[in-house]
Amino acid sequence: MSKVPYEVYTEEVKALSVLSPDGEIINKDKLPKLTDDQLKEIMYRMVFTRTWDDRAVNLGRQGRLGFYAPVSGQEATMIGSEYALQKEDFIAPGYRDIPQIVWHGLPLYQAFLYSRGHQHGGQVPDGVNVLMPQIIIGAQILHAMGIAMGYKLKKQKQVAITYTGDGGSSEGDFYEGLNYAGVYKLPVIFFVQNNGYAITTPFAKQTAALSIAHKAVAAGIKGVKIDGMDVLAVIKAVQDAAERGRNGEGATLIEAVTYRFRPHSLSDDASKYRSKEEEGEWNAKDPIARFAKYLEKKGLWTEEDTARVKEEAKAKVNEEIKKAEKTEKMTISGLIDSMFESTPKHLEEQKADFK
């Protein structure tokens, strides 16, 4: 067995970029093969998601949503990674990863119901391969690993992908998932959105490792570090990881270096731990602006297109939140019945007490 030199742990890994902040191709060898229509669809989804996020933040402040974790700034990691998958692949998300499961097939109004704590928000339609967002930090990593083991045992050419942030990479579930996937060469992608902070804790206080991607070495799996503000780099990394999984080559850990423009959640005040200078530096790397420049140079996108998508998104969000608000309210009896095919006697007695 060959020995890995110690230097691999001390050499910093540069994040892969395909697009420059000015929208120029700087790594042609890593450019994913996409048609013009596909490029426009990716841009559509990114603009739609940013607009939806704007509206969701306002809905949360109005009390029309429950817990909500803003996503603006992370559209490249979310939209790009989901777009690189096949519909048969499975997504195990964290609580911020609502866009991925909606674009994978979960109706938007159900995502709103999930935020409102309604049980129907978790009743995933048949044929939509997603789990509901996991609120326990890192627990979804083990779920994805189990799904991937099922695919391997059944010899299915599908992959599972799971998401967490840099904070989630400090959880025990993270290391257990990587280790198990490495031992059994599972078709799973561990996608870490390193947005610099685990709520208020900066990345420098999360780990002594130079990168999260380095941690793949100990698990015996492939580790990749990418520019998470570059949607083309994200798509290429996930396409490659999915191909490796389908071909029986095992798991991949992807660290996407990104930034959340808004606070961690609606109860957070990011100004207490982030400087204006830092925010300004990352705003200049806006993934939507970067991709728009690229498409504009190719004659595929205009400011009018952006305005049109924003209006469509606003109308759709308004329609879906109204649908969520009109959904029949939960009852204790209904909640109990939804947990069992045949309700146990002692719970039938509790239902009677509630009535």
For 146, the 3-state DSSP assignment is helix
Per-residue pLDDT, 166: 94
Q: Do the domain assignments include residue 87?
A: yes
Query: CATH number, domain at 101?
Result: 3.40.50.970
Classified as helix, coil or strand, 134 is strand
pLDDT score recorded for residue 338: 83
Q: What is the distance between the alpha carbons of residues 197 and 204, in angstroms, rounded to a whole number?
A: 9
Q: Is residue 79 part of a domain?
A: yes
Check residue 341 and report its DSSP letter. Answer: S
DSSP code for 70: -
Q: Looking up tokens 């870490």, which residue turns up?
A: 192
> Can 308 be counted among the known catalytic residues?
no
- Structural domain tally of the chain? 1
- Decide if 344 is inside a domain: no
Supply 327's token pair: 């959904």
Residue 350 lies in a domain: no
Write the pLDDT tens digit of every residue in 168-224.
999 999 999 999 999 999 999 999 999 999 989 888 888 888 899 999 999 999 999
Task: Please tell me the predicted confidence (pLDDT) of residue 354.
Answer: 80
What are the pLDDT digits (tens) for 23-68? 999 999 999 999 999 999 999 999 999 999 999 999 999 999 999 9
**Residue 163's closest CA among 138, 182, 180, 186?**
138
Of 50, 104, 118, 264, which is the active-site residue? Answer: 264
Beta-carbon contacts of residue 199 (< 8 Å; ≥ 6 apart) = 167, 264, 268
Given 143, 260, 274, 290, which residue is catalytic? Answer: 260
What is 44-112 written as a DSSP string? HHHHHHHHHHHHHHHHHHTTSSSS----TT-HHHHHHHHHTS-TTSEEE-BTT-HHHHHHTT--HHHHH
Residues 6+ apart with CB under 8 A from 141: 92, 162, 164, 168, 171, 173, 174, 176, 177, 190
Note down the domain range covering 70. Answer: 7-329
Helices (H), ranges, the chain: 7-10, 36-61, 75-83, 98-103, 108-115, 139-153, 172-184, 216-219, 231-246, 276-283, 287-297, 303-326, 332-337, 345-354
Residue 235 lies in a domain: yes
pTM for the structure as a whole:
0.93
Burial class (CB in 10 A: 0-12, 13-18, 19+), 304: exposed
Burial of 114 (0-12, 13-18, 19+ CB in 10 A): buried
pLDDT-flagged residues of the chain (< 70): 1-12
Answer yes or no: is 335 within a domain.
Answer: no
345 occurs within a structural domain = no
Joined together, the tokens standing for residue 166 give 């840099």
Assess whether 264 carries a catalytic annotation.
yes
Residue 5 confidence (pLDDT): 46
Strands 201-202 and 197-198: antiparallel
The Cα 351–Cα 39 span in angstroms is 53
pLDDT at 1: 47
Residue 275 lies in a domain: yes
Known active-site residue 260: yes
Q: Round to whole Å and give the CA distance between 108 and 294.
A: 29
Angle 194-199-205 from CA coordinates, rounded to 5°: 65
Q: Is residue 259 within 8 Å of 229, Cβ to Cβ? A: yes
